[in-house]
Amino acid sequence: MSTTNEVGGPGRLTVHDDAQQMIERARAEGIETVWDRLHAQEPQCGYCQLGLSCRNCAMGPCRIDPFGEGPQKGVCGADADTIVARNLGRTIAAGSSSHSDHGRDVLEVFAEVAHGGASGYRINDEAKLRRIADELGIATEGRSTTEVAVDLADELVANYGSAKGSLSFVSRVPAIRREKWAGLSITPRGIDRENVEMMHRTHMGVDNDYVNLLLHALRTSLADGWGGSMIATELSDIMFGTPKPVISEVNLGVLKTDQVNIAMHGHNPLLSDVIVAAAQEPELVELAKSYGASGINIVGLCCTGNEMLMRKGVHMAGNHLMQELVLVTGALEAMVVDYQCIMPSVVDVAKCYHTKVISTSDKAKFPGATHVSFDPHRGAEIARDIVRMAVEAYPSRNQSRVRIPVHPVRMMGGFSVEAILGALGGTPQPLIDAIVAGTIRGAVAVVGCNNPKLPQDLEHIELTRTLIENDILVLVTGCAAVANGKAGQMMPESAALAGPGLRSVCEALGIPPVLHMGSCVDNSRIMQLAAALANALGVDIDSLPLAGAAPEWYSEKAVAIGAYVVASGITTVLGVQPSIFGSSNVVNLLAGGLDGVVGAKFAVEPDPYKAALLIRRHIEAKRQGLGLSHTAPELITANESGGEPVHVNARS
Instruction: For ligand BF8, give the closer residue by CB, 184 or 364.
Output: 364
Q: What does residue 651 show for φ and ψ, rounded to 5 degrees? A: -70, 130
CA–CA gap between residue 588 and residue 584 (Å, rounded):
6
479 makes contact, choosing from ligand BF8, ligand SF4, none, with CB < 5 to 8 Å by partner type, with ligand BF8
Number of residues that bind ligand SF4 (CB under 6 A): 14
Least Cβ distance, residue 570 to ligand BF8 (angstroms):
17
Q: Does 86 bind ligand BF8 (CB under 6 A)?
A: no
Q: Is the dihedral of CA 301, 307, 309, 313 positive or negative?
A: negative
Among candidate residues 383, 396, 398, the one with its CA nearest the CA of residue 283: 383
Q: What does residue 421 show for φ and ψ, rounded to 5 degrees? A: -65, -35
Instruction: For ligand BF8, give the closer residue by CB, 521 or 586.
Output: 521
Instruction: For ligand BF8, give the closer residue by CB, 225 or 599.
Output: 225
Per-residue exposure over 276-293, b if at least 16 CB sit within 10 Å of its own CB, e if not: bbbbeeeebbebbeeeeb
Instruction: For ligand SF4, give the closer residue by CB, 57 or 380.
Output: 57
Among candidate residues 551, 553, 588, 594, the one with its CA nearest the CA of residue 571: 594
Q: Does 434 bind ligand BF8 (CB under 6 A)?
A: no
Among candidate residues 305, 293, 300, 299, the one with its CA nearest the CA of residue 257: 293
Least Cβ distance, residue 477 to ligand BF8 (angstroms):
7
Burial category of 509 from C-beta neighbours within 10 Å (exposed 0-12, middle 13-18, buried 19 and up)? middle
14 makes contact, choosing from ligand SF4, ligand BF8, none, with CB < 5 to 8 Å by partner type, with none
DSSP secondary structure string for all residues of 71-99: -SS-TT---HHHHHHHHHHHHHHHHHHHH
**Segment near ligand SF4 (CB under 6 A); pick from 57-65, 181-189, 412-420, 514-522:** 57-65
Please, which of residues 69-88 interact with ligand SF4 by CB under 6 A? 74-76, 78, 83
How do beta strands 472-477 and 409-413 pair?
unpaired
**Segment near ligand BF8 (CB under 6 A); pick from 38-46, 82-90, 344-352, 551-559:** 551-559
Among candidate residues 350, 351, 392, the one with its CA nearest the CA of residue 265: 350
Contact (Cβ atoms closer than 8 angstroms) between residue 303 and residue 340:
yes
Least Cβ distance, residue 231 to ligand BF8 (angstroms):
16
Q: Is 283 helix (H, G, I), strand (E, B) or coil?
A: helix
636 makes contact, choosing from ligand SF4, ligand BF8, none, with CB < 5 to 8 Å by partner type, with none
Work out which of 19, 78, 449, 619 binds ligand BF8, going by CB under 6 A: 449
Among candidate residues 270, 332, 278, 336, the one with its CA nearest the CA of residue 307: 270
62 makes contact, choosing from ligand SF4, ligand BF8, none, with CB < 5 to 8 Å by partner type, with ligand SF4
Strands (E), 229-290: 246-250, 260-265
Instruction: For ligand BF8, give the closer residue by CB, 540 or 556.
Output: 556
**Segment near ligand BF8 (CB under 6 A); pick from 382-390, 555-563, 569-577, 586-594:** 555-563
Please, which of residues 16-55 interact with ligand SF4 by CB under 6 A? 54-55
Instruction: For ligand SF4, give the closer residue by CB, 74 or 455.
Output: 74
Least Cβ distance, residue 487 to ligand SF4 (angstroms):
44
CA–CA gap between residue 174 and residue 426 (Å, rounded):
20
478 makes contact, choosing from ligand BF8, ligand SF4, none, with CB < 5 to 8 Å by partner type, with ligand BF8
Q: Does 478 bind ligand BF8 (CB under 6 A)?
A: yes
Instruction: For ligand SF4, give the closer residue by CB, 55 or 164.
Output: 55
509 makes contact, choosing from ligand SF4, ligand BF8, none, with CB < 5 to 8 Å by partner type, with none
- Angle (CA) 558 515 471, round 5°: 105
Q: Does 517 bind ligand SF4 (CB under 6 A)?
A: no
Q: How far is CA 303 from CA 218, 268, 447, in A?
A: 24, 8, 12
Site map (CB under 6 A) of ligand SF4, residues 188-217, x = contact: ----------------x-------------
Q: Tell me which DSSP letter residue 470 carries.
A: T
Helix axis angle for 210-223 and 80-114, nearest 10°, is: 20
Work out which of 320, 397, 441, 460 binds ligand BF8, going by CB under 6 A: 320
Least Cβ distance, residue 209 to ligand SF4 (angstroms):
15
**Segment near ligand BF8 (CB under 6 A); pick from 206-214, 347-355, 484-492, 552-560:** 552-560
Q: Does 218 bind ligand BF8 (CB under 6 A)?
A: no
Q: Is 8 helix (H, G, I), strand (E, B) or coil?
A: coil
Q: Is 456 helix (H, G, I), strand (E, B) or coil?
A: strand
Site map (CB under 6 A) of ligand BF8, residues 219-258, x = contact: ----------------------------------------
Contact (Cβ atoms closer than 8 angstroms) between residue 355 and residue 335:
yes
Number of residues that bind ligand BF8 (CB under 6 A): 15
Containing 417, the helix (H) or strand (E) segment is helix 417-423
Given the rule CB under 6 A, which residues bind ligand BF8? Answer: 267, 302-303, 319-320, 341, 448-449, 478-479, 519-520, 555, 557-558
Given the rule CB under 6 A, which residues bind ligand SF4? Answer: 54-57, 59-62, 74-76, 78, 83, 204
